[in-house]
Structure 1
Amino acid sequence: MWAKTLFFLIGYALLYGLILSNQFDIGTMLGLAALLGVFAACIGFNVSHDALHGAFSARPWVNKLLGGSFYLLGANPYVWKISHNIVHHTFTNIPGHDEDIEVAPGLVRLDPQDSLKPWHRYQQWYTFPLYALTSLSWVLRKDYVKFFKNRIGHHNTSTHPRVEYVKLFVAKLLYYVFFLVLPIAVLSLTWWQVLIGFLVMHLAEGLMLGLVFQLAHVVEGTTFPLPDERGNMQDAWAIHQLCTTANFAPRSKLAAFLCGGLNRQIEHHLFPKICHIHYPAITDIVKRTAHEFNLPYLENRSFHSALYSHFRLLQTLGRPA
């Protein structure tokens, strides 16, 4: 785990330094910017995600320190812990509660309960490019919107500690300085060339983030259950996680290395406080136990099969039932 952490953090710093060195032609710098976005996404998957779940280390201060790596993505760890750890992990795939299934509301239909619009018929084609905007949304809009909402899902977020206001605005300002102001000042590029590099970095980062999150919960076989008239869910929490979550490429070492174990989302949702390097050791146990009690255990054997399953589900949700 520490080796992965050092690899991605050092790689991120090295790529940033190479770009600011101003020693490369514009094409090479554009490639470095895209690779920097990939490393940022991998830090989010492998370091920030575990740390913010309290799963990286048994020492809380280590988790808090490494949870701060989320700032390297331009995102706010405090807002993420509310929307992801509390809301998403508790109300997975429940329409009106889990905002992770609300991708461009009105434009993309991921909730079967949403009204069907004529343009949804083509959403399997235009949704994938929208995923590339994931990190740009975090950096420029989403964190601010969620921070100042009274509720995320049905979780009350009307009050925040004062220090979190300072962290939100100071961290955002520093990110804009390091990734926009400083490159414009240092590099022998025009402001619009720097802006293109910034966009390319975030498009690469956002596409990775968006795809990995969606392939875990919005594929064929996963459900979008609704509470009864009293507001109660019929399944126990652990069963609910099995019904709404799917693995992809669970035997791929490359997927495990890049995605920080998020290719084994079932194990992560059942045991979010276990470090992801242990998922391979518990996967067979979880799968065997699910089958023993006649419960679903959804998995796509490869990244490509999961991608195609997501495509087909988007196609299905874009048409009348």
Structure 2
Amino acid sequence: MSTDQFVGTPGSTPPRPARRFTSSYTALSQRVRAAGLLERRRGYYWRRIAATLLALSALAATVQVVGNTWWQLLLAPLVALTLSQVAFLGHDAAHQQIFTSPRWNAVASRFLASLLAGLSHGWWTGKHNVHHAAPNQIGRDTDIDSKVLAFHPEALEDKGRAHRWFLTHQGFWLFPLLLLEGFNLHYDSATAVLRRGAVKRRRLEVVLLASRWVAYATVLLLAMSPGKAAAFVAVELALFGVLLGGAFAPNHTGMPVLARGVKQDFLHRQVLASRNVSGGRLVDFFMGGLNRQVEHHLFPNMPRPNLRLVQPMVRRHCQELGMPYTEESFAGAFAAVVAHLNAVGLAGRRQQTCPLAQQFRT
């Protein structure tokens, strides 16, 4: 594969040319299966689900005990943290990681994601499956399509002057924008289920989402005034967005972007577009296991706790093939994200005068 099939940013180094390694991935997959790493971990997930439900119940009871006071806002971050863990469990169920039965995984995902976290299972599964099929590919991966940010040079086209100025500093705007991600996720989820044909079992999804918000509002309004309840929800959604957006942002942003229509073997497509984030069990917890993004993309139905076990095998396999395997610290990953976003934005400002920037336009 020639390097002109990738879209870069000024100063970036295109990935090494890739050959087809379908048989190589098959060999890796066979070793992983033989090691039992694709077997379900029901005990792990039942403990996680039980602990999360217990935490939500305890928080709902605490809200009632604290009563009509602004001190309630101190509980909002704990609710956001717990709901982020619910969302990660719903993500795992949608990937068939919890049960062997697709039906029971779908039931679990709808219960966790739609009913508890307030994010439509059907909407999320549809967009997320497309992302896994073509990570960081222009025209296919909707995760790199944004009305606000530009993740690749092609996204700079048709932007107004004010927007282009914003994009020159977009890397630094990422963090305040994460405060709005929770609102955005819930809005996109709700609008998707209200459109005919947008998601499967749409009526069920509408009932689940509506029931969730009615129950949430009831718990809050039984304990506090409407104004305090609205402030509670605002704080919770802002921090929920930071937690989920912070888990998503470093996984692919700043990694090679594949041009439209380019074909690439599965192994290269998943490894080259993904970045792991190191940091131990604390990072594992806050990122819901998505910090091992390379392994998750190669084996999306692998139970979360097994990603740590398969990582040495995947790293060694990539080294044997001479394939880049990217892993950075939490701080280093976000620094790379900010640098990439700013480089893309600056390329837009200079594209009329700088030949180097111009060559990265597709």
Question: TM-score, with normalisation over the residues of structure 2?
Answer: 0.76
Match in the other structure for 1:183: 220
Partner of 2:97: 55
User: What's the offset of the Cα at 1:9?
Assistant: 2.5
The one-letter amino acid paired with 2:100 is: A
* Contact 2:253 2:340 (8 Å CA) reproduced: yes
Letter in 1 for 2:99: S
For the 8 Å contact 1:74–1:138, the answer to whether it is kept is no
Gaps of 5+ in 2: 1-43, 158-163, 348-356, 358-362
The match for 1:137 among 184, 199, 217 is: 184
Amino acid at match of 1:240: R
- Give the C-alpha shift of residue 62 in structure 1: 4.1
Q: Which has the larger radius of gyration?
A: 2
* One-letter code aligned to 1:122: H
Cα distance in 1 for residues equivalent to 2:67 and 2:225: 16
- How far residue 248 of structure 1 moved from its aligned partner, in angstroms, is 0.3
Give the distance between the partners of 1:218 and 1:22, measured in 2 at CA: 41
How far apart are the structure 2 equivalents of 1:57 and 1:223? 34
2:143 aligned with 1:108, yes or no? Answer: no
Q: Does the CA contact (< 8 Å) of 2:194 and 2:206 recur in 1?
A: no
The one-letter amino acid paired with 2:338 is: F
| Counterpart amino acid of residue 255 in structure 1 | V
- d(CA) in 2 for partners of 1:315 and 1:32? 35
Is 1:195 the counterpart of 2:230? The answer is yes
Q: Which consecutive unaligned segments of at least 5 residues does structure 1 have? A: 151-157
Residue aligning to 1:247 = 276
What amino acid sits opposite 1:303 in the alignment?
F
196-205 or 52-61, which deviates more: 52-61
- Structure 1 distance, partners of 2:199, 2:217, is 29
Give 1:13's match in structure 2, choosing from 45, 53, 57: 57
Match of 2:330 in 1: 303
Q: Which residue of 257, 277, 282 corresponds with 1:224? A: 257
How much does 1:315 deviate?
A: 1.5
- CA offset at residue 259 of structure 1? 2.4
Partner of 2:39: none
CA distance in 2, matches of 1:310, 1:64: 33
Q: Superposition pairs for residues 75-224 of structure 1, below 5 Å?
A: 75-84=119-128, 86-103=129-146, 105=147, 107-115=148-156, 117-139=164-186, 141-147=187-193, 158=197, 160-161=199-200, 164-184=201-221, 186-187=222-223, 189-219=224-254, 222-224=255-257
Query: Which residue of 248, 253, 259 corresponds with 2:287?
Result: 259
- Once residues 138 and 30 of structure 1 are traced to their aligned partners in structure 2, the CA distance between those partners, rounded to angstroms, is 22
CA deviations 1:34-64 (Å, max 9, x no partner) are 110111112212x111111101122445423
Q: Which amino acid aligns with 2:92?
A: D
| Cα distance in 2 between the residues matched to 1:178 and 1:235 | 47
1:36 alignment partner, one of 79, 86, 98? 79
CA displacement, residues 75-109 of structure 1 (integer Å, 9 cap, x when unaligned): 1001111110x211001111222111234x1x211
Tell me how far apart the structure 1 counterparts of residues 156 and 193 of structure 2 sit (CA, whole Å): 28
Distance 1:148 1:197, change over 3 A: closer
TM-score by length of 1: 0.85
Deviation (angstroms), 1:5: 2.6
- The runs of at least 4 aligned residues of structure 1 exceeding 6 Å deviation read none
How far the C-alpha of 1:310 sits from its partner, in A, is 1.2
8 Å contact 2:252–2:273 — kept in the other structure? yes
Hey, what's the Cα distance between the residues in 1 that align with 2:57 and 2:82?
10
- How many residues align structurally? 296
User: Relative contact order, CA 8 A, sep 6+: which one is greater?
Assistant: 2
